[in-house]
Chain A
Amino acid sequence: MVDVAHFSIPYFQYLNEQGQPVVALPDFVKDNQTLFSLYRLMTLLRVFDARAIALQRTGMLGTYPSVLGQEAVSVGLGAAMHLDDVLCPAYREGGAQIQRGVTLSDILLYWGGDERGNVFGHPNDFPMAVPIGSQTLHAVGVACAFQYRKQARVAVAVCGDGATSQGDFYEALNLAGVRNLPVVFIVANNQWAISVPRGRQTRCQTLAQKAIAAGFAGWQIDGNDVIAVKEKCAEAIEKARTGGGPTLIEALTYRLGDHTTADDASRYRSKEEVAQAQAKEPLKRLRHYLTERGEWSEEKEQLLLAECAKDVEEAVEAYKQVSPVTTDMMFDFHFATLPADLAEQKHLAAQFPVGDAHA
């Protein structure tokens, strides 16, 4: 018998569910402005999320995937990345995207059925990936480009717990390991892949340990503790940037809402389970911590909520003001130069225009 690997998966948490520090806090926590900014982004995302769901209900958006309860993962990640790094997100990473040149109205535009929502203010970031797990391979490819050009840049892929069952996920980890790529994988483990619970995806005790088989480290973090997310993402990203290779971070969180507006989660999970998860949600604990520190008050909270609501309404307005689509748009971007046969079809389609279809 050959003993090849013994492993343990480290788990990182700074603030517990009550917002109490459980270990010495990282340095950045000393700075109030940094904490305010993280709290503000999470609040903005939450207000936006509710508004987006309402827009879907009135036919102004197509299917929309809520991020309720998972705000800390993408907000903390976004705060840890450099702008010239590249993000390859799934569809619940708005909190990172809005720190990288994507506007809330871009996100609305996208879920409103318009590819122009992917023409956002970041030159290299990928748009959200819909085929589950596929973006992990784009991230390793991006990391290959950085490594080849000897650039100190990092690619970050985010996927869900369900995605870790995909071949693409394993293939991406494998390549990241074998080429020691500057890439970080974030698994937002929200416990559910639509109706399939985490326990039915894999018999592995953790998702993080999948990295061990690919030859690099996997960590678990409390994905509802934005301090842990920012700190450990930054550590992994800086490790990757300085030649230390890939890391897999499993961020433990919970999807408090339905999978999307087309889903009804009460069909497959209990109220008790959701209530338990609710107690661990990310905003409350940071608010408690800030309040304990004497830096937060009900008045500040109300001011912030009003400010976020205003930002969101502005985004909704901007979304409504977007110019109508034209049939040309579905032809013009398949190739750098439009082939003759497509030019003919484009002409044909223009003769049969239909109005903008919402939802």
Chain B
Amino acid sequence: MPEITLLEAVNQALAYEMQRDENVIVLGEDVGTNGGVFRATQGLLQKFGAERVWDTPLAESMIAGMSIGMASQGLKPVAEFQFMGFSYPGLDQIINHAARLRNRTRGRLSCPVVFRTPYGAGIHAPEHHSESTEAIYAHTPGLRVVIPSSPARAYGLLLAAIRDPDPVIFLEPTRLYRLVKQNVPDEGEALPLDQCFVLREGSDVTLVSWGAMLHETMNVARALDQEGISCEVIDVATIKPLDRDTLLNSVEKTGRCVIIHEAPLTAGMGAEIAAILAEQALFFLQAPIVRVAGYDVTVPYFKLEKAYLPSEARIKEAVLTVLQ
């Protein structure tokens, strides 16, 4: 079995679920003939036809709103926003309708949509193409926010997201799209939502991250291992709702925690996780929690994006600080 990238894993999951469930419709800008600007939907048009793969007009509120209408009648739209920075015209529909349709009809109608979008910095992209504003979505009641960090998790989590009866925001880290390859059996096996994944067990400190930052986080954990420091690394994966048990168990064991995310520091999901740990694991903590995050600035255009993204050096320094 050939090894595949995260991008190919997304494609594989879409194809699997379209094959399995004819209610699944893929739609968005350039997702058909072109196979998506990153090629995430490549080949789906050829395989499933224009009935199932729709090149839509260029309008994100429309993409969100029509998906809600489709989902209300039992279809399972998987809608793509071309980049996270262009998902915002769809925010009104997502916040005002997708996230609350089930609640405001007391379950009479529901909204099983997946909104996929490439997300994050680090690929030398134009302005507005490097956003990581997951906290906006995570702050919205009624939404699930899921972020894969490997090909296997992209495959398993995307399947789970499509099968989930409620709206899911599925954020695909562009920096990871082609970075690593993995063996991902195409057997339709979903991974659990609402659960963290412990990527590496350790005893000295817990490193909590998600998405592309896990790449640097794992590198730091491996490097520190050489220096005799044992890092536990947690991939939060579903950042809303949070799997508090896994986070608490780990921090109760290690007594120390560094949270790493590329989104801006203030009101980022790191703040939420730190607050939960402070509320529920304070007496296990042997050092203050430290967050390593993007700065509270507009993601810089690509000359400075490396300076914006939390580096391995910053992560390592934070780990050494909490270990002091």
Contact = CB atoms under 8 A, between A and B. Distances in A.
A336 B110 contact: yes
A115 B104 contact: yes
Interface in A113-166: 115-116, 118-120, 123-124, 126-127, 129-131, 134, 136-146, 148, 155
Interface string B229-244: 0000000000001101
A107 to B, nearest CB: 15
B165 A119 contact: no
Contacts of A146: 73
A63 to B, nearest CB: 16
Nearest to A140: B66
A5 interface: no
Nearest to A110: B104
Contact of B241 (A124, A174, A341): A341
A123 B108 contact: yes
A143 B67 CA distance: 11
Interface residues of B, number: 46
Interface in B34-58: 51, 56-57
B13 to A, nearest CB: 21
A168 interface: yes
B324 interface: no
Interface residues of A, number: 44
Contacts of A340: 194, 241, 244-245
Contacts of A140: 62, 65-66, 69
Is chain A's interface secondary structure helix, strand, loop, or mixed overall?
Answer: helix
Contacts, number: 141
A335 B72 contact: no
A155 B72 CA distance: 12
B9 to A, nearest CB: 26
A178 interface: yes
Interface in A328-359: 329, 333-336, 339-342
Interface centre among A167, A171, A341, A342 (most CB of B within 10 A): A171
B142 A86 contact: no
Nearest to A342: B241
Interface string A155-191: 1000000000001100110110010000000000000
Given A178-B57, A334-B142, 6 more contacts: A134-B65, A134-B97, A174-B57, A175-B66, A336-B110, A336-B165
* A-B complex: 7 closest residue pairs judged by Cβ atoms: A141-B69, A137-B65, A141-B66, A171-B62, A145-B73, A339-B241, A138-B69
Interface of B: 25, 51, 56-57, 59, 61-62, 64-75, 77, 89, 92-93, 96-97, 100, 102-110, 141-142, 144, 164-166, 194, 241-242, 244-245
